Structure 1
Amino acid sequence: MQTEIQNALEVIQKGGIILYPTDTVWGIGCDATNEEAVKKIYALKQREESKSMLVLVNGERMLYQVFNEIPQVAWDIWDNTKKPTTLILDKPKNIAKNLIADDNTLGIRLVSEPFCYKLMERMRKPLVSTSANISGQPAPKSFQEISPEIIKGVDYVVNLHRDKICDKPSTIIKLTLDSQVKIIRK
């Protein structure tokens, strides 16, 4: 795993994009503070920049690098859910502008998956995560379902967990600073 982390880190530090296993589906990612790298992902996915992507963080310290305020209900959800859960929170900071939605929100997920966690530990930055598919097509449930177009379009393909089958992507819940809660995807 250390070799894969090092290889991915070198690509990301040069502004590249990677294809990698997450705690849910395979993802396409880059340094979440690098606007040019984020543009490469939008282009590869043939996705409109108005459709924001989510960001992974590996703990509380990194979460506070991205948000000044985190509603208490966010902690309650993360503490009481067993399934990977993405929360859409208000007023992100220190992040590529083209990741932030028009309503000044950003989807964020705390990860425990060892590869992602350790990669971000080395990066000291959040990691973009979006499903490894062309926009509008189904998210692949395994590495084998990822289209050749996506595989050829990234700068590095992580050689881990290629036999893993994923049930489905994370739950998505939108929270506002005034404590409104809306389930976007179960």
Structure 2
Amino acid sequence: MYGVDIVRACEVLRRGGIILYPTDTVWGIGCDAADSTAVRRIYEIKRRVDSKALILLVADGDMMRAHAAPLPDVVSQMIANPDERPTTMVIDGGRDLAPEVLAADGSVGMRIPREEFVSALCREFGRPLVSTSANVSGEPAAANFSDISSSIIKAVDYVCTSRRDEVSESSPSRVIKIDCNGQITVLRP
């Protein structure tokens, strides 16, 4: 159903490009999370200070484990029994990623999406994918394609065609920080 769109998006990502795509929450701007040049371009597109870390989407728990320090048991439990609401987990010890996606303390925010399109995109790409809302920093997140400014659309290398006509009242994910001892702190309810 989404095959050609996903293949084209992955081709652009593998060449170091930036894509505009529907996520499990809002429309996002994405790139290969290990490509520093592409990540810096996203900060420029969003006019966002680079001291704010970026959220990553991963295909599954194995991909999350490959790019973070050993996960506390509570993270493994949350992966096995996901909440209904999309939840980004900020965990310690991001690795094999562009330094620009990490917080000052080395932690990284990752989410395993369950929505069909973005799940397939993550699996096909095979590496963590930057996922930041498709808006200039400080403006409202784009729940729908029609909410995205023309400046954002023009700045990316590929605009996914899937789900453009959908209208929803999506909102950004909940964000929780989980320390190495399994202690949970809610960063964004």
TM over 0.5: yes
TM-score band by shorter chain is over 0.9
Aligned-residue offset at 1:122: 2.2
* Cα distance between partner residues in 2 of 1:118 and 1:82: 19
* Cα distance between partner residues in 1 of 2:64 and 2:26: 21
* Cα distance between partner residues in 1 of 2:13 and 2:182: 35
- % identity of equivalent residues: 41
Aligned-residue offset at 1:15: 0.5
* Paired amino acid for 1:42: Y
Q: Deviations over 1:43-73 (max 9, x none)?
A: 0000111101110001122111111311122
Aligned-residue offset at 1:98: 0.7
The residue aligned with 1:141 is 143
The answer to whether 1:132 aligns with 2:137 is no
Pick closer, same or farther for the CA change 1:160–1:66 going to 2, 3 Å: same
CA contact (8 A) 1:85 1:109 kept: yes
Aligned-residue offset at 1:113: 2.1
* Cα distance between partner residues in 1 of 2:13 and 2:82: 33
CA contact (8 A) 1:87 1:108 kept: yes
The residue aligned with 2:24 is 23
1:1-186 → structure 2 map (5 Å cutoff): 1-78=2-79, 79-164=81-166, 165-186=168-189
Q: Name the stretch that deviates more: 79-88 or 39-48.
A: 79-88
* Cα distance between partner residues in 2 of 1:112 and 1:140: 19
Q: Deviations over 1:91-134 (max 9, x none)?
A: 11011111111011110001122222222222221110000000
Q: Deviations over 1:73-92 (max 9, x none)?
A: 22333415111100100011
Q: TM-score, normalised by structure 1?
A: 0.95
Length, aligned pairs only: 186
CA contact (8 A) 1:85 1:171 kept: yes
CA contact (8 A) 2:59 2:126 kept: no
Q: TM-score, normalised by structure 2?
A: 0.94
Structure 1 residue ranges without an equivalent (≥5): none
* Paired amino acid for 1:159: T
* Paired amino acid for 2:128: P
Q: Could you say what the CA RMSD is over the residues aligned between the two structures, in angstroms?
A: 1.2
* Paired amino acid for 2:172: P
